[in-house]
Amino acid sequence: MRTAENVNAPWLGGWLIGAAAGLVAFGALVAVGKFDLFPAAAIGSVVALVVGLILGMPWGAGARPAAAAMPAPVRAAEAAPVVTPAAFVSAPAAPVAASADGPERLSAPRGGKADDLKEIEGIGPAMEKLVNEMGFYHFAQIANWSDADVAWVDANMKNFKGRITRDRWVAQAKIIVAEGLEAFRERAKTNNY
Pairwise CA distance, residues 141 & 17, whole Å: 41
Pairwise CA distance, residues 59 & 184, whole Å: 39
| pTM for this entry | 0.49
Residue spans of the domains in the chain: they are 12-67, 70-188
pLDDT in tens, the chain (193 residues): 444 455 556 678 888 898 999 999 999 999 998 999 999 999 999 999 898 888 877 654 444 444 444 444 444 444 444 444 444 443 444 444 334 568 889 999 999 999 999 999 989 998 899 899 989 999 999 999 999 998 888 888 877 788 888 989 999 999 999 999 888 888 888 887 7
